[in-house]
Amino acid sequence: MSREKVVSLSVGSGGKQMQDFIEEIIHTKFSNDILLQSSDSAILDISHGIESGKLAFTTDSFIVQPEFFTGGDIGKLSICGTVNDLAVSGAVPKYISLSLIIPEGYKYDNLERVLTSIQQEVFKSGVKIVTGDTKVMPIGTLDSILINTAGIGEIVKDLTKFSNISLGDNVIVTSDIARHSMAIMLARDEFGFVGDIETDSASLNKMMESVYGYDIKFARDATRGGLSTVLNEIASKIDFGIEIHEDRIPIRKDVESLCKTLGFDPLSLANEGVIVLIVSRRDTNKVIEVLHSNEYGKEASVIGEVSTCKNVVLNTFIGGRRYVEVPHGEILPRIC
């Protein structure tokens, strides 16, 4: 049996092995004009002009454990996460930086798998990786690969302003919740459960672009901290509250059961393919219609509205009313 090829410290040292790694692996997988000409920085030509005069700029580090799970891996997440952060800001994602921090001894096969996922997602979302960095940490100092991406997009319509939100606006979630967290839990294999819950991780920029033409007031993806955190942040920044209805929150039966069994509140769990949209009443139906025609928006639902209540109020299945709290403590670590 031949020894498996693994990543050595020299790949991160700045010398010959790093140059080879970048030329043979990174440049081959992510070939584009800008990347190939990149030296210390990528040069981005915006001389054709940015119509809105505004760029969106974001960053995210990915530390998920395990690195591979049903429907995705850390590589796919690292592109979708940054693409979605740009898309919910109202930007068309354009340029991505890719920074890898790899443990010494990491299997080349796994690295290949992660990089292939990145390549596929870059292609799907239509962004370009234009600059990057590779570091290797000595054995015993890091237990898994880490990825940071930063992204630049061209703002079409600024969706980050809480001040655009009005009383009576509707609250839409674009997909069923809590799937990503439960996919990770199953992949950890700590509880003896078997199932095929897939992460919802997906690049949602094309779906967002299809609704920019409507009266969307605000958007945010419900990642770490889940729906609870996003709704509470919105409520804390406006003069009104948000009222939501449990029976309208889309969640898959198997996901819901697993959450109940494990004692998690699905509202507080991380998603990687769920966006919260605040939409005027006038355009709500049209937006839902457009979302339903997208593969990632089939479960889109109007879950509530901006109301005169305080904070975030949940109307439960059984007719009760309770405040939705911002999660405290650890929730689930290393979920993204």
β-bridge partners, 306:
242
What is the closest distance, in whole angstroms, from the C-beta atom of residue 249 to a copy of itself in the complex? 18
Reference 56, options 225, 277, 219; nearest CA is 219
> Strand 312-315 vs strand 241-245: parallel, antiparallel, or unpaired?
parallel
Task: Compute the least distance from the CB of residue 292 to a copy of itself, in Å.
Answer: 24
With respect to a copy of itself, which residue has the nearer C-beta, 152 or 207?
A: 152
- Nearest approach, Cβ of 54 to a copy of itself (angstroms)? 6
CB of 95 to a copy of itself, least distance (A): 6
**DSSP label of 258:** H
Nearer to a copy of itself, 60 or 73 (CB): 60
* Crossing angle for the helix pair 74-88 and 108-125, to the nearest 10 degrees: 30
Helix or strand (DSSP H, E) at 286: helix 281-292
For residue 68, give the H/E element and its range: strand 68-69
Q: CB 3 → a copy of itself: shortest distance, Å?
A: 19
Query: Residue 36 or 167: which CB sits closer to a copy of itself?
Result: 36
From CA 107, how far away is CA 105, in angstroms rounded?
A: 6
Q: Do the Cβ atoms of 152 and 55 come closer than 8 Å?
A: yes
Residue 55 or 290: the one with the smaller Cβ distance to a copy of itself is 55
Smallest distance, a copy of itself to C-beta of residue 63, A: 5
Count of beta carbons in the 10 Å neighbourhood of residue 123: 12
Which C-beta is closer to a copy of itself: that of 57 or that of 123? 57
Nearer to a copy of itself, 6 or 245 (CB): 6
Q: 92: number of CA atoms within 13 Å, CB side?
A: 11
Under DSSP, the state recorded for 6 is B
| Token representation of residue 113 | 């798998």
Say if residue 193 is exposed, middle or buried (CB neighbours under 10 Å; 0-12, 13-18, 19+): middle
Q: To which H or E segment does residue 255 belong? A: helix 253-262
Q: Which is nearer to a copy of itself, 35 or 197 (CB)?
A: 35
Least distance in angstroms from the C-beta of 311 to a copy of itself: 13
